[in-house]
Structure 1
Amino acid sequence: MSLTDLAIKKLKPEEKRYEVSDRGGLFIRISPTGHKSWIFRYRFGSDKKPRRLTFGDYPTVSLARVHELHAKALQDIDKGIDPGAVVQEQKTAHKAAPTFQDLLEEFWEKELSKSPTADERKRLVVKDALPSWASRKVKSITRRDAVLLIDDVRERAPVTANRLQGVLVRMFNFASERGIIDASPLAGMRRGKENSRARILTDEEIKILWSALDGDNREIDFFSTSKLALKAILLSGQRPGEVLGMTRNEIDGDFWTIPSARTKTRAENRVPILPMLADVIEQAKAISGDSPYIFLSSRGKGEDRPLRVQTLANALRRHTASMGIPERFTPHDLRRTLRTKLAELGVSDMVAEQILGHKLQGVMGIYNRHSYDIEKKHALGLWEQRLREILGISEAVSNVIPFEVRHG
């Protein structure tokens, strides 16, 4: 029988790599790390030696897409064409003169996908650079092309322009390192100036926001999981992307452990889960069902994926005024607000920085290996107590009230 997406998702890694057959020589390979890739085994012509062709990784190459590739390969064999040779010729051609689209795919595969902010950085390129440059040969893109592209974005969003420029600089450096171009046309390009953000929510704004994020509040109409995610950022102080990527297996009792692969500093961070945060997580779990992600996107088209930071930012931009908060704020400003509140509560900078997942600097970063679990739990306990005072809640509430799943 042919594989299904559900069957593939249920395939778990084992001590040794193994393969599961789909049909007609098509297999999915599962590595000990859980990596899944498509393999096509076939014979060609009079040569009885088995041949192998890879179709990419799952779910990047979906089940439907791999069936199309598999069908095309079988047709080629019937016509006397070796599909493996065709793919090799295509790779050779791409390597000889890659387009910007080719560069983005290679950059994603070899480097960008391993970054904690991979999806957001790729989105910048796809939205603002790919429409103009997709079919352009990388060698044909000049510094002037890049300047004009970034200037267009800067007129609309100065901060976004700088973020895009940062990704493009690294992309073209990568292209130079890989021999696609001799030197990056963006080398030495300076970023535009940014006004440093200092947006911190007042106690009154926190109260207004929390009321707006209530599951029963129908006046502020956006996705229930988005509301819960914003609460989780304010309660934990973690980076929005780290909160949204939270998975069930990262939670163990009263602690949420963010693995090093998902943190900006590449260092594991243990976050204490106090009652209010635990309540938020349980409500999000009730919505996400059996997904591994706690804050599940509603627009996954049948695939499990977490909410994106941009989704939260867009929701706040649309609804801040209707909440009754005059000055706009971002999801990251909630993290800054918690850091400020910890200082007001007398929490030491050392402990507060540990909560936020910042690295200790200098000699302390080398020799101080204390976990600070107890101190972080105490500090976040003080913050929840203060938050309950702001909200007029006398004590922590543990009742889980199911949210109606809504879109917006």
Structure 2
Amino acid sequence: MQFDARAAKLLEPGRHLTIDGYPGLRLEATESSRTWTYRYKSPVNGAMRQKKIGRWPAVSFAAAIVEWEALRQKREAGIDVAAEARRERQSAVAAKAAEKEKNKGALTVQRVCDLYHAGHIVRNRGEKGQVEIARMFRTMLGDLAGKEAAEVSRADAFALIESYAHIPVQAQILRRELGAAWEYCHDAGKLAESVPNWWRLILRGKLKSKGKAINGVKRGALKRVLSPQEAGQLIPWLPNFSRDINDILTLYLWTCARGVEITAMEASEITEEDDGLWWSVPKAKTKNAKREDATDFRVPLIGRAETIVRRRLNAYPTGYLFPSYGKTGHWEQKSVQTRVYYQQPYSNTAPERKRIRLTVTHWAPHDLRRTARTFLASMGCPRDVAEVIIGHMLPGVEGVYNRHSYDKERRVWLGRLSEYLEQLAVKHG
């Protein structure tokens, strides 16, 4: 019979169609498919053989004829096509196994990253950083993870980083950490010196962020600092937040501390000393935790900061001063950020809920720390004092030889900052 698509669709499972003029070509039916096959006698031993051509209708009748003709010519040339196909499959499996065995001891890209993570990241980064770098290596390397590190070409490196160019900040981090991983394995003797570190060479200066997007509009790559007028307007507005958020944001301005340090403040870290109230953040809770020469972060509590901490000490004489029901037991920085965004006039979070909107916009909690540091500079605070106040370690030789605690200077300049912030609130509030 001639091929009939309707008859093919109605073909019952276990039955087959043959086509006039094409000996051996059959369309066989199962419960779920229709498959073209070539049935023939082996030219080697005369046994009946069958070679699959493909599923219909993905493989059309015309395409099946072309393949049938090629197989028939091979058979007439004395080749058992089914046996040949079986040998090719076996060869492919053997080749894959051999390649796997060959690479079993090879230093792959993933292995380079694992060595770097265990030997450097775990020793020098905080827990959050360790988890993030491990996640990045686990999810962003793609097929390159299994490739031998010594065989990675410049094109390979470019292709991987370029594939993340739409998220340039993350692409920069991946490029930086892979470059550091190659460098680490070079230093450790795990990679031959002749193996190039392409990560250091590709796309230098070409991965630039367009800034944070708000409602689909890019703000641009900028570091937000509130003007004196904006700070003066914001300070009287802060009580519109909950008491916890108001207190935390106020401490950003009055202490210049980091959000993660403020939200994890504990009663045991507060001490009454001869010159007033102090907050001593343990080194382990600071950004400098891995630095051998780092010390606890000392913060004199003055003005509104002192008022807030004394009030909270009365309410929470032990444990965290900003307790929460979360897994950490205290407020987290990201939760504070969420509350601030919720009050922004452009926030679409729960639009059906009525709320008072911020009048000073486009800022995040960390911008308040940056703003306070900028105010210190504008007031004439010496750079080394201001850097110590915000918890930065002094660089270079100065950091090695200058062991002055700056406690007196901290209290003097944070006292002046407190007075300045109060003046702004009166003037612009």
Bin for the TM-score computed over the shorter chain: 0.5 to 0.7
CA shift, 1:212, in A, is: 5.5
Q: How does 1:158-169 map to 2 (within 5 A)?
A: 158-169=168-179
Match of 1:328 in 2: 362
Q: Does 1:257 align with 2:276?
A: no
Which of 239, 251, 276 lines up with 1:232 in the alignment? 251
| Distance across 1 between alignment mates of 2:309 and 2:400 | 34
Equivalence map 1:103-118=2 (5 Å): 107-115=116-124, 118=127
1:155 maps to what in 2?
Answer: 166
Amino acid across the alignment from 2:287: T
CA distance, structure 2, for counterparts of residue 340 and residue 211 of structure 1 = 20
Q: Is residue 340 of structure 1 aligned with residue 385 of structure 2?
A: no
The CA deviation string for residues 131-150 of structure 1, in whole angstroms up to 9 with x for no partner, is 24378337367655554454
What residue in structure 1 maps to residue 299 of structure 2? Answer: 271
In the alignment, the residues of structure 2 paired with residue 285 and residue 104 of structure 1 have an alpha-carbon distance, to the nearest angstrom, of 46
TM-score normalised to structure 2 length: 0.52
The answer (yes or no) to whether the contact 1:246–1:295 under 8 Å persists in 2 is: yes
Relative to the length of structure 1, the TM-score reads: 0.54
Give the conservation status (yes or no) of the 8 Å contact 1:121–1:167: no
> What is the identity, as a one-letter code, of the residue corresponding to 1:162?
Q
Q: Which residue is 1:187 aligned to?
A: 200
Q: For 1:170, which of 176, 180, 186 is the aligned residue? A: 180
How many residues end up aligned between the 2 structures?
288
- Match for residue 402 of structure 1? none
CA contact (8 A) 2:279 2:299 kept: yes
Bigger Rg, structure 1 or 2: 2
Q: What percentage of aligned pairs have identical amino acids?
A: 25
RMSD: 4.4
Aligned to 1:307: 332
| Deviation string, structure 1 residues 307-339 (Cα, Å, up to 9, x no partner) | 25x555555455433544575234432222112
* Cα contact 1:257–1:270 (8 A) shared by 2: yes
Distance 1:144 1:320 in 2: 44
CA contact (8 A) 2:225 2:368 kept: yes
The whole-number CA distance in structure 1 between the counterparts of 2:234 and 2:248 is 13
Alpha-carbon contact 2:266-2:318 (below 8 Å) kept: no
Partner amino acid, structure 1, of 2:305: L
Structure 2 counterpart of 1:374, one-letter code: K
CA offsets per residue over residues 376-395 of structure 1, 9 Å max, x none?
111111212222233349xx
How many Å separate the matches in 2 of 1:164 and 1:275?
A: 44
- 1:384 and 1:99, CA in 2 relative to 1: closer, same or farther beyond 3 A? farther
The amino acid of 1:257's aligned partner reads S
* Counterpart-to-counterpart distance in 2, 1:336 and 1:202: 11
Partner amino acid, structure 2, of 1:155: H
Question: Which residue of structure 2 aligns with residue 370 of structure 1?
Answer: 404
Aligned to 1:391: 425
Structure 2 equivalent of residue 203 of structure 1: 228
Q: Which residue of 2 aligns with 1:133?
A: 141
CA distance in 2, matches of 1:306, 1:108: 29
Structure 2: which amino acid aligns with 1:169? G
Specify whether residues 225 and 165 from structure 1 end up closer, same or farther in structure 2 by C-alpha distance, changes over 3 A only: farther
Equivalent residues in 2 for 1:42-121 (5 A)?
A: 96=105, 107-115=116-124, 118-120=127-129
Where structure 2 has 5 or more consecutive residues not aligned to the other structure, the ranges are 1-102, 210-219, 347-356
Q: What CA distance in whole angstroms lies between the structure 2 residues aligned with 1:162 and 1:280? A: 40
> In the TM superposition, what is the alpha-carbon distance from 1:374 to its structure 2 partner?
1.4
Q: Which runs of 5+ in 1 are unaligned?
A: 1-93, 219-223, 394-408
